[in-house]
Structure 1
């Protein structure tokens, strides 16, 4: 059985990945991704330092800016 056959139809083609090399695609997806990331950080009770490391070692200032504005890197 094809794994995609078990996924409900939500109007997205799950066989095509977004082109994250495209700036407009990143701008469109980043706010939702950052919100989801921060929700996981809160739910899992991660320390800020651990969250910053998961984001590739962003600075304190950049991380707190992300938390405040919930926009992309």
Structure 2
């Protein structure tokens, strides 16, 4: 999901190798949560999933080596 699009666009991304950008999302496939549109960062607050229980959640996002989102708690 990352290697081929990066290769097609000639970007040095989509791989975990020394010298490349560390763009990583860590997902906990077992974590359950309920969609609450009040917590959306987007100005759009409409979702067909509002109130629905979901399984699997991004818990950490790293962009260019910097932590941008840390949901570990």
Confirm or deny a common fold (TM above 0.5): no
Structure showing the higher strand proportion among its residues: 2
Higher relative contact order (CA 8 A, sep 6+): 1
